[in-house]
Amino acid sequence: MEHGDVVNRLDEYRDGELPAGVAREIAGHLETCSSCRAVLDDQAARARSLSGLVRAQPSDAFVRTVMERIAAEEAPTGVRWVMPTLAAGFAAASILVVLGLSTGNGETAASELLEVGDREIADSYRTIESSEVPTHDQVLGMLVEEES
Amino acid sequence: MTATDDETALINRARQGDRDAFGALVRLHEVNIRRLAAGILLDPVEAEDAAQEVFVKAWQALGRFRGDAAFSTWLHRIAINHCRDISRARSKRRWLSWDGLVETLGGREPVEAAGPADATTRGTDARDSLRDLLGGLPAGWREILVLREVEGLSYVEIAETLDTTEDSVRAKLKRAREAVRDAARHERTVPDV
C-alpha cells in the first residue's frame, strides 16, 4: 500500500473499521513511517479534544429530575381528563339551563295558547321557539298581529 | 445473567409500567444521552433539558420499542430527532431575533474586549474555538462526528441510528473530519491534548 493510501485510511484504521488484512498492512507501514505515525497521533489528539468537549458524569439529580418529569407528565394526564370533562359538563349544563329557561317560557306560552284551544298557533309557536326562541311578549305580539 | 439480560429484564418491566425499572434504564444510559445532546446542541443548559426530554419521550414510546435495534440505538435515535427539533426551533427563533437580523444585515455585535490570555483562559479559548468549529459544521456531519468521537459508536451503529447506509456514514465522517482539520489548521486553535 502506498504512503498516500495509508494516510487516507488512517481515520478508518483508528476507528477499527478496516478489514483485518488492510489493517495489518497499515500497522506494518506505521512501524516504519514516522510521518504517518505523526498524522495518526494528531488525529487521535483531535478526537480526544472533541470527546473532552462534552464530558458528563453520572448524575443522581438528573435521574431524579427525569423521573419527576415523568410523574408530572402522567399526573396532568389525569388533570387533562378531568379539566375537559368539567369544562364539557359545565358547557352542557349551561346549554341545558338556557334551553330549560327558554323551554319553560315556551311551555308556559304554549299551554296558555292551548287553553284558548288554538293548537295550530301553538304548534307554530313551537317551531318558532326551536329556532329563535322569542320571548313570551314577542309571541303574544305575533298572535295579536295574526288576529288583526 | 449478563448485562444485556439485565437490560432486557428492565425493559420488559418498564414496558409494564414499572417506573423503578425505567429509572434503572435512565441510570444506565443518561451519561451517553447527555453527552450526545451536549455535542449536538453545544449548549449545556439546553442539552441537559433535551436529554431529560429524551427519556420522557422514551418512557411514553416504550410500548413501541420492538427490540429490532439495541435499546441504546433506539434512545440515540430519539435523542437525535429531538435535538434536530430543538435546532430547527432555535433557527426559527434566531431568524426572528435581533441577533439574526444583525447577522442577516451583515453586521456584528460588539464583542467584550478579552483580557490577556493566561494558562486558564487559553484552555477555555481553545475549547470555545473547538466548539465553534463543531458548531460551524452542517448538522448532519456534526451528528455523525459526535456519535463516533464522543459516543464511540461503530459505523454500523451510526448508520442504524441515523437510518442511513454505512457508506454514507463513512463518507460524511470523512468530510466532517476534513472540515474540522482544515478549520483547525486555519485557526490554529484546536488544542493538542
Per-residue pLDDT reduced to its tens digit, B51-78: 999 999 999 999 999 888 999 999 999 9
Which of A11, A47, A53 is facing B131, going by the closest CB pair?
Answer: A53
The Cα B188–Cα A9 span in angstroms is: 24
First to last CA, chain A: 114
Q: Does B122 score more than 70 pLDDT?
A: no
CB within 8 Å of B149: residues ≥ 6 apart: A47, A50, A51
The Cα A142–Cα A113 span in angstroms is: 12
Q: Is B184 on the interface with A (CB under 8 A)?
A: yes
What's residue A83's pLDDT?
55
Mutate to test the interface with B, among A14, A22, A46 (most CBs of B within 10 A): A46
Of A105 and B115, which is predicted with more confidence?
A105
Which of B23, B31, B192 is facing A58, going by the closest CB pair?
Answer: B31
CB within 8 Å of B128: residues ≥ 6 apart: none
Over residues A130-139, the mean pLDDT reads: 61
Check: pTM over 0.80? Answer yes or no: no
Which of A16, A48, A66 is facing B193, going by the closest CB pair?
Answer: A48
Q: Which residue of chain B has the CA closest to A62?
A: B52
The Cα A58–Cα B15 span in angstroms is: 24
Average pLDDT, chain B: 84
Q: Does B135 score more than 50 pLDDT?
A: yes
Please answer whether residues B123 and B174 qualify as being in contact, where contact means their C-beta atoms are separated by less than 8 angstroms: no
Q: Does A100 score more than 90 pLDDT?
A: no
pLDDT band for position B130 (cuts 50, 70, 90): confident
What's residue B4's pLDDT?
75
Q: What cell numbers appear for A79 in the block?
A: 388533570
Q: Which residue of chain B has the CA closest to A58?
A: B31
What's residue B131's pLDDT?
84
Which of B64-68, B74-78, B83-87, B115-119 is the least confident region?
A: B115-119
Q: Is A53 on the interface with B (CB under 8 A)?
A: yes
Percent of chain B at pLDDT above 70? Answer: 78
**Which of residues 4 through 43 in chain A touch B, CB cutoff 8 A?**
11-12, 15-17, 43
Inspect the interface and report whether the beta carbons of A58 and B30 lie closer than 8 Å: yes
What's residue B68's pLDDT?
87
**Alpha-carbon distance B30 to nearest alpha carbon in chain A (angstroms):** 7
Q: Which residue of chain A has the CA closest to B180?
A: A46
Over residues A17-45, the mean pLDDT reads: 95
Q: What cell numbers appear for B155 in the block?
A: 459505523
Inspect the interface and report whether the beta carbons of A49 and B130 lie closer than 8 Å: yes
Rounded to the nearest 10 degrees, the angle between the axes of helix B44-61 and helix B19-41 is: 140
Other CB atoms within 10 A of residue B188 CB: 7
What's residue A16's pLDDT?
96
Over residues B86-103, the mean pLDDT reads: 72
Q: Does A89 score more than 80 pLDDT?
A: no
* Side chain identity, residue A124: S
pLDDT band for position B110 (cuts 50, 70, 90): very low
Burial class (CB within 10 angstroms; exposed 0-12, middle 13-18, buried 19+) of A47: buried
Q: Does B111 score more than 50 pLDDT?
A: no
What's residue B193's pLDDT?
37
Per DSSP, B113 falls in state P
Q: What cell numbers appear for A56 in the block?
A: 458528563
Mutate to test the interface with A, among B27, B28, B43, B78 (most CBs of A within 10 A): B27
Q: Does A122 score more than 60 pLDDT?
A: no
The Cα A10–Cα A22 span in angstroms is: 11
Over residues A26-52, the mean pLDDT reads: 93
Residue B149 with chain A: CB contacts under 8 Å: 47, 50-51
- The residue count of chain A comes to 148
Of B80 and A119, which is predicted with more confidence?
B80
CB within 8 Å of A70: residues ≥ 6 apart: B19, B22, B55, B56, B59
First to last CA, chain B: 39
Over residues B141-145, the mean pLDDT reads: 95
The winner for highest mean pLDDT among B15-19, B90-94, B125-129 is B15-19
What DSSP line would sit under A18-64, residue for residue?
Answer: S-HHHHHHHHHHHHH-HHHHHHHHHHHHHHHHHHHHT-----HHHHH
Which of A70-79, B141-150, B151-160, B163-172 is the least confident region?
A: A70-79
Which of A16, A46, A67 is facing B23, going by the closest CB pair?
Answer: A67
Residue A15 with chain B: CB contacts under 8 Å: 148, 154-155
The Cα A15–Cα B152 span in angstroms is: 9
- Scanning B42-154, the segments in alpha helix (DSSP H) are 44-61, 71-96, 98-104, 119-135, 139-145
What's residue A11's pLDDT?
95
pLDDT band for position A39 (cuts 50, 70, 90): very high
